[in-house]
Amino acid sequence: MTEAEFEKMLADCGPELTKLSQFTKTGMAIAHALQALKEMEVLAPNATDPAAYWKFEAALTMFAISYGRLFASGNASRLDRKDIPDELKGVHDEIMSLRSQRYAHNDEHHSVEEKLSIEKRGDRVALGPMLSIGLPVDPLFFSEAKKAVEHALITMKKRSDKVLKRLESKTGLNWEYDVGEYDPDICDVSDE
């Protein structure tokens, strides 16, 4: 194939290549979410230690925001809640609640309780803001959250495989697109 023929083929495959390019942001969000989960699992046993707490909170923030990006309306390759299996909808909803109510917006979230300390000091009253912040350090949360992220990865792999099949049909060439690693025990990656 000449360079000109190759360029024409790429132009003819523009819609498919654009679609695969849009998967890049989703793939990065999945990678960030998985990395954050790994960090959280390591930090969880010591999360009450002040130094570990801030690292855990940073990893939890990164996880919730990254996972939320997979479902954000501005993401051209976004996933939908209906893409989540019923058994993972509970953890999905909790992660999305963390993202929306605890991190992305200043809404009420059940893991954060605002308090006010009140202390009488002679002829004055001293007020102090306090927060009680809960952390999801339950190993079950990590396990279920990882399954939800890996399911998102598998969904993206299935989508990219469909695009690759269209490219192969269109060009007669083999095309590859690496969406990352997955655990086949978590989700079925066979063609539907």
Residue 157's Cβ-side half-sphere holds a number of Cα atoms within 13 Å equal to: 20
- In contact, 149 and 33? CB cutoff 8 Å: yes
Residue 128's SS3 state is strand
Task: Give the C-alpha distances (Å, rounded to integers) separating 103 from 3, 109, 146, 192.
Answer: 49, 9, 20, 36
Q: Which of 93-97, 129-133, 154-158, 188-192 has the lowest mean pLDDT?
A: 188-192
Contacts of 57 (CB under 8 A, 6+ apart): 133, 135
Mean pLDDT value of segment 74-82: 78
- Is pLDDT of 109 > 70? no
Q: Which of 45-54, 73-82, 165-174 has the lowest mean pLDDT?
A: 73-82
* Of 153, 102, 170, nearest in space to 132 by CA: 102
Predicted confidence band at 180 (pLDDT cuts at 50, 70, 90)?
low
Q: Which pTM does this prediction carry?
A: 0.73
Predicted confidence band at 8 (pLDDT cuts at 50, 70, 90)?
very high
Distance CA 129, CA 117 (A): 6
Mean pLDDT value of segment 10-27: 87
